[in-house]
Amino acid sequence: MTDPVLPLADTGGDRIVGPKVALVLGAGGARGLAHIGVLEVLGERGYHVSALVGSSMGALVGGIFAAGHLHEYREWSLALDRGSVIRLVDFVFGHPGLIKGERVIGALRELVGEHLIEELPIPYTAVATDLGSQRQVWLSRGKLFDAIRASIAIPMLLTPHRIHGRDLVDGGLLAPCRWRPPARPLPTWSWRST
């Protein structure tokens, strides 16, 4: 179900009335939840999000928005209590990180559904950090929740997420707020020095 309150990008045929904006949503853990309010206010004021780039929590909120399920995510987040949060934590020992993160990603995938980034109605890019090369990785193709999981993997807390043989972690390490979006669509892997 597409969120009725928040207008999406032009997905074909219909003329969008009102200004378009491309957004960069930065890192910030719980503070990143403020992105929800920003997106809601922009929608209420008639703005249409035409592209999103997100790092860490910005990648999570931006990806869910791009998939059209921000309202459901907001309601789900507000309903969480301490017990619910604890049940979402999957501790792991002997790995680089305390929490695997599969339970929370599984819950979000169940809430939002599985999506391919390249099929989202809004162009979306998640920023992650490659542990091996210590460079940014821009994820603009593939499974949405793989990109989100990589971008939110806070080192020593969440285990790195492996994509195409690379261990990826929180995009906020090198790009808390990615302010230079790609000038053209990028391939799945774009290596940039910062």
Task: Reduce the DSSP state of residue 32 to 3 states and report it.
Answer: helix
Handedness of CA 113, 104, 68, 118 (dihedral sign): negative
Catalytic residue among 55, 56, 140, 151: 56
State mean pLDDT over 99-108. 95
- Does 4 have pLDDT greater than 50? no
Active-site residue, from 3, 130, 146, 170:
170
Which of 84-88, 163-167, 169-173, 186-190 comes out lowest in average pLDDT? 186-190
CA distance 157 to 22: 31
pLDDT score of 125: 95
Q: What is the pTM of this model?
A: 0.83
What φ, ψ does residue 145 adopt, rounded to 5°? -75, -20
State yes or no: is 170 an active-site residue. Answer: yes
Average pLDDT over residues 143-153: 96
Question: Known catalytic residue: 56?
Answer: yes
Query: For the chain, how big is the Rg over CA atoms in Å?
Result: 16
Q: What pLDDT score does 175 carry?
A: 66
pLDDT tier at 99, thresholds 50, 70, 90:
very high
Residue found under tokens 């719980």:
30
pLDDT, one tens digit per residue, over 173-192 is 886 665 555 544 444 443 34
Question: In this model, does residue 12 exceed pLDDT 60?
Answer: no
Which residue shows structure tokens 């910005």? 58
Quote the strand ranges of the chain, DSSP E: 20-25, 48-55, 124-130, 135-139, 161-163, 166-170, 191-192
Whole-angstrom CA distances from 18 to 72, 91, 112 are 25, 46, 27
